[in-house]
Structure 1
């Protein structure tokens, strides 16, 4: 959500997360604001913000000498060393509250759940704290068998009861999770907890210390995918209750790393978790620099070990005569869509013709060509190319300034004298709101005579206001898939009763399609439902989709081994090792 992300869960990711200047999404769902677009690491101090058919673009790992592949080192993986990254302060380290990619990227290294996303493109869901699971009763009962001798980072045992408490804690109104309903709401009884009329869920049963049974309200193909999101991660009850609201200052966890230090605005240090259930991490620590800086300069000064490559540096780093060229790697696009969002409950965005006019007034191809030098692809739909459910048949609202003028004239807000003031909110704390936002505003001004006010707000406030429906229109982020299923885009973002539907979009026919897709067991028919819903969403101009990412470039130090770039955000530092 990662936004993510994004990157708000599914994860949404913020624009500067790449030094590309691209908007990074999601997530996160839940959205990853899911959260958006950084292929691996944010490369500036702006936050990164963050879906079940296994059709993920393949991970790209280094395979030659200069890329630092693991096979190059005769001795094989070595324990020890520190990986240094440039990051920004996460809005939260509570897994049950994660809606952005900045938080998501830390949390998935420290905490874990029953299942996880892995790099296998044909079977992306891997056992994590659960060693196995079975599905019965027509796809409505999931029984998970936990691994033997599981421990939290402090040595406490992990049991099925810990999962029951964690799920119910995530859903409880006092936790104030904006994503628990979306990610856990399929479990029978969770909605009653969210609504404050129950404290336990009948659909969560502890059979014994190692066996957890979950009953969902209907067979849903994507349910197992939702359990990979941090909302479904297990917490240590004593840790949370004894430390209260400050428990994330010293969290007890189950991931390959534990939080060693967090100094706001300075650094986060993750240390190897020696009580991790599997092979422990090779790295001693992962250090995230939160103090800011110029990513490329920091990389060349050996202050950080990886960075995205921005337009200003692209030509130089691609020159084979440059020393830095040996560190260059290809990064697959992450599954995110950058967009301008509209609150359709607020004038003038309550008029479909006005929204359609804004869409037709923007030349996305020009933005891709001239602003991003074709490092992005114009988005005329929601689901990114290569993602399960993507359809090239979606008819988007293409650039047509004359049609845009006609639609504006037909709208209820044709007269600028009576048109409500338009405020487009972007994340930031000063300076330029971002070239893309400025270009879009200029196109609206030039092609329609529509003036807007661009307002910058601090990242945490931006995310909070987005969740609470306070923004009239917003930009500066993307939505990144949390898992490989079209549900993470079409259902989560546009179903009328979804907590992640930040713009309040409501179309009964879209609801009909996505609800049908929820329980449809035939994969082809299920995708068709999502495609039909997507076409309605695009035609209604619920958003102004801007672009999807394409393959990009990154730099990674030659001593860093087995750093896997992926189109989806997965925990990766456990396998990274240093050879120097």
Structure 2
């Protein structure tokens, strides 16, 4: 799993929302498209102009301009298409795609997991559970996975889902013509996937149809995390007949009913959903054009909203009535500054280390985020289930040592460093508070004037993820796709990973990561990842800034809501209870 302009809502931002500020652009068979047509679909940005799912824009975004008092903005009211009794309205934002094979941003992902599904998924307790696959068998050599599909699994239009549908979906994801940004990362362990991606073969031989309800997947080497990867949208099943016509006929608990850009998105209950819990909600409204979600929430126009920095103090006040509606939870996500290892001066580890320890992160993060998120000194979030690294030796704030490291480097002195540019996403020219604090610290501690280059979100992510990252130094984030340290350490730092945006390459680290991925002994695997994390921290590939925490307000009549540490299907668990006369 990041930054944003208007696309990606990140927790502690003024227009904050990360797990419910989801949004969608797409087509569903039989949907009513208000203000949307198939011609619009042709204009939708496809990768590489779309941001990665786990990539998050830096939070602390600039709030939108307030409207003129003489022309007040009226609340956006979606049409009522059901009884209205089981309807929930939340704040939303528009994503770049609804196609699971292209979905890489956190905004699109939240919709994709509600509209589509795959063999396996995660429940609210972050336990891997069967989804369309009713059960599975793993061979003794841990190379062959045989999935038994639910016979009652259907697409939204009622058509049965078969193993052939999965076979076709995997073939499409790995087709070089599809140009999926995530197929190599999440399906690359399957025999034949990488060969097809490279145009060497025409088929993914590691995916075989045994019968209508039995699918066999063969991987190239034992991988302790392989099943977890199948929970990622790239492995979701698609309907060949509709996707080729640019329609989205999914299989998730909800289906797309209507979308009006800048206004709202409406999802409705999938009457053909195949497993428990079946959705209770009949209608989900996502408001896309709200100037202030907090105002809309307090006016009763939203049932759920994220809380921004400007409102944190009052909602966390036990004496404030809103405090009783507040839900908080830590996230499997990290925000950081990345160094381009292929550009001077950051090809020198001494310079990277100097820039890392020149920031008093505790002071900066506590000041900017009002002690609502913890400063980060490691790579893997402390909330990662089953992982801990209490013996890690972080690079801590030490201004004197920072100057000494620069003196030890081939540059010898600050004055000899090349021009330093920090690249951030955004538009409008104004910097976020955290960016201002970072460049002020570098000027104060090191005497280095850092230039800030701002680029719109989609261009920024295209540049970072294109394989030849042109940015010398950049600010970004990552949201976990599944609860495994491999999703942070291997996916982001192995030299051959498509998600390694720094160009970092360390043969020793690669060897450890490969061994950890193929190790099924929990304690040994943990020790290997701890060793890998220490290498990454010592080499100062990133400057970890902070781990995310989400703050949500939920009306008392909304039952079953939970703050998830990562993006998983959640609205099938939510329902409307008895409404009180007042809050």
TM-score, normalization by structure 1: 0.85
Counterpart of 1:136 in structure 2 is 139
Q: Distance in 2 between matches of 1:136 and 1:462?
A: 43
Alignment match, 2:109? 104
Structure 1 residue corresponding to 2:178, chosen from 152, 164, 175? 175
1:253 equivalent in alignment to 2:250? yes
* Inter-CA distance 393–14: structure 2 relative to 1 (3 Å threshold): farther
2:563 is aligned to: 565
Q: Deviations over 1:199-246 (max 9, x none)?
A: 2111101000000000111111100000000010000111122x2xxx
> How far is the alpha carbon of 1:316 from its aligned partner?
2.2
Give the secondary structure class of the aligned counterpart of 1:288: strand
Shift of 1:23: 10
Task: State the distance in 2 between where 1:395 and 1:326 align.
Answer: 39
For residue 124 of structure 2, what is the aligned residue in structure 1? Answer: 119
Alignment partner for residue 331 of structure 2, among 324, 334, 340? 334
* Alpha-carbon shift at residue 494 of structure 1 (Å): 0.2
The yes-or-no answer on 1:411 pairing with 2:409 is: yes
Contact 2:51 2:462 in 1 (8 A): no
1:236 to 232, 239, 260: 239
Task: Give the number of aligned pairs.
Answer: 526
1:300-321 deviation per Cα after TM superposition (whole angstroms, max 9, x unaligned): 1222222233333233223444
Q: Is the 8 A contact 2:394 2:537 kept in 1?
A: yes
1:406, CA displacement in angstroms? 1.2
TM-align CA RMSD: 2.8
Contact 2:406/2:414, CA 8 A, preserved across alignment: no
- CA offset at residue 467 of structure 1? 0.7
Separation in 2, partners of 1:545, 1:561: 36
* Cα distance in 2, alignment partners of residues 403 and 15 from structure 1: 37
Deviates more, 1:193-202 or 1:258-267: 258-267
**2:188 aligned with 1:185, yes or no?**
yes
How far 1:264 sits from its partner (Å)? 3.0
2:169 counterpart of 1:166: yes
5 Å matches for 1:147-546? 147-241=150-244, 243=245, 247=246, 250-278=247-275, 280-329=278-327, 331-387=328-384, 388-414=386-412, 419-468=417-466, 469-473=468-472, 475-546=474-545
Aligned counterparts of 2:439 and 2:411: Cα–Cα separation in 1: 17
Aligned twin of 2:35: none
Alpha-carbon contact 1:18-1:309 (below 8 Å) kept: yes
Unaligned runs of 5+ in 2: 23-49, 66-82
8 Å CA contact retained: 2:340, 2:347 = yes
Tell me, yes or no, if the aligned pair for 2:358 and 2:397 is still in contact at 8 Å: yes
Distance 1:207 1:344, change over 3 A: same
Name the structure 1 match of 2:34: none
Deviates more, 1:311-320 or 1:16-25: 16-25
Given the alignment, which residue of 83, 86, 89 partners 1:84? 89
C-alpha change, 1:353 and 1:266, in structure 2 (3 Å) is same
| d(CA) in 2 for partners of 1:466, 1:345 | 13
Listed one character per residue, the Cα deviations across residues 164-197 of structure 1 (whole Å, up to 9, x for unaligned) are 1111111111111111111001111111011111
In structure 2, what is the equivalent of residue 18 of structure 1?
12
What residue ranges of structure 1 are gaps of 5+ in the alignment?
7-12, 47-77
CA 328–148 in structure 1, closer or farther in 2 if over 3 Å, else same: same
8 Å CA contact 1:32–1:480 kept in 2: the answer is no
Taking the aligned partners of 2:476 and 2:558, their CA distance within structure 1 comes to 30
How far has the Cα of 1:518 moved from its partner?
Answer: 1.3
Following the alignment from structure 2 to structure 1, what is the Cα–Cα distance between the partners of residues 292 and 489?
A: 36
Output the CA distance in 2 between the equivalents of 1:564 and 1:314.
19
SS at match of 1:299: helix
CA distance in 2, matches of 1:43, 1:578: 33
Report if the CA contact (8 A) 1:79-1:577 is conserved: no
Contact preservation (8 Å) 2:14, 2:63: no
